[in-house]
Amino acid sequence: MDTGQDAVADLRLGDLDIVLTEYDAASSPPTEPGLALYHLAFDPYLLVIPPDWQVIPGSLRDLAGRPWVAGPPGTACDHALLRLAAEAGISIPAGDVCVEFPSVLTLVTAGRGAAIIPRTALMQAQVTVCDLPPLGGRHIGAWHQAGPSQPPPATETVLGALARAAHGLPQAA
């Protein structure tokens, strides 16, 4: 499995035409020398908690001291959780870290902790979605080679199809 940096290196070599990426919307867009970032979608964050927790938080402060299920360091959800915890003045106890959102939701359902997830990841999980003021979101984008003749027509066609598909993503309520 390629890491993000391996995929970007393959893109630079011409072995890939497009590399999907994400970043917390509260952060500046990432930059990569020689590459252009094509914006595809905005995906709002949700706070989800285990269904058996006896609290409906009005803010993240109401979850101080409770466990969390986090994304890996450096991911959009990790950045969001750390940013939101700092804004709320709470610390995030060490807990489970998951790469895939179905695993995050399974752990939340099992009572292992709360989580910040993008709306598109919610699926049909048996979790409690908390109605908090907007938590921000992540941008989903696609890297492609930059330059006067870039992207080539086939890549431009795929980028356009990805952007059209992204318009069908669930939007913030």
Q: How far apart are CA 105 and CA 69, in angstroms?
A: 9
At residue 105, the pLDDT reads 96
Query: Domain residues for 129?
Result: 4-166
In a domain, 75, yes or no: yes
pLDDT tens-digit series, residues 125-141? 899 999 888 899 999 99
In a domain, 18, yes or no: yes
Q: How far apart are CA 42 and CA 60, in angstroms?
A: 22
pLDDT tens-digit series, residues 87-123? 999 998 878 999 999 999 999 999 999 999 999 999 8
At residue 22, the pLDDT reads 92
- Tokens for 162, please give them: 């990805």
In a domain, 173, yes or no: no
For residue 39, what is the domain's CATH number?
Answer: 3.40.190.290
Q: How far apart are CA 28 and CA 104, in angstroms?
A: 26
In a domain, 76, yes or no: yes
Q: What are phi and psi of 72, to 5 degrees?
A: -60, 150
For the entire predicted model, the pTM comes to 0.86
In a domain, 172, yes or no: no
Amino acid at the residue 12: R
In a domain, 101, yes or no: yes
In a domain, 58, yes or no: yes
**Total number of domains in the chain:** 1
